[in-house]
Structure 1
Amino acid sequence: MKINKCYLCIIIEKREKPIKWNVIDMKIIGISLLMMGCLMGFSLGIDIFQGFDVSQALYNTVSPFRVMEVAELFVLFFLLFLFLLNLCIFL
């Protein structure tokens, strides 16, 4: 394992072309994590405002798939299926 400075990546195995992380990719990852944190904080605040204690609100915030209805799970798995199908087509 070594750090390649020109591509800003950690090389674990030999590849023909190293993965190149550019500034746009890092901004997308950073904004996504910031949005996730803000939305989790908002969800936590709403649960506490509705009367849940902090531990139950934190449990609901961290594990959202346990509080999903059947229709929501169907939509989630359908979208994941479409994503994987799209990924397989364009590989």
Structure 2
Amino acid sequence: MKILGITALILLPLMAFSFWMDYLQGFNLQTSIQNITSAFRVMDIMEMVVMSAFLLILLIQLLYSWYQEKKGNSKVRKAH
């Protein structure tokens, strides 16, 4: 969960900075948002597969750690 939080804390200021730079250059809101998301539109199929695999691995790790934590807490409750 920490990895996801750190990723968001890094991604959001970088996107805000990119948006702010576009705004200072005189772009309107729609163009600024298109510039922020354009990196995902020009991805090749294999790049999308790799990015999806990384996101899937991250999701599996998060769910597995959540499951292990929940499983560990249920054993503690049964012992009392």
Per the normalisation by structure 1, the TM-score is 0.43
- Larger RCO, structure (CA 8 Å, separation 6 or more): 2
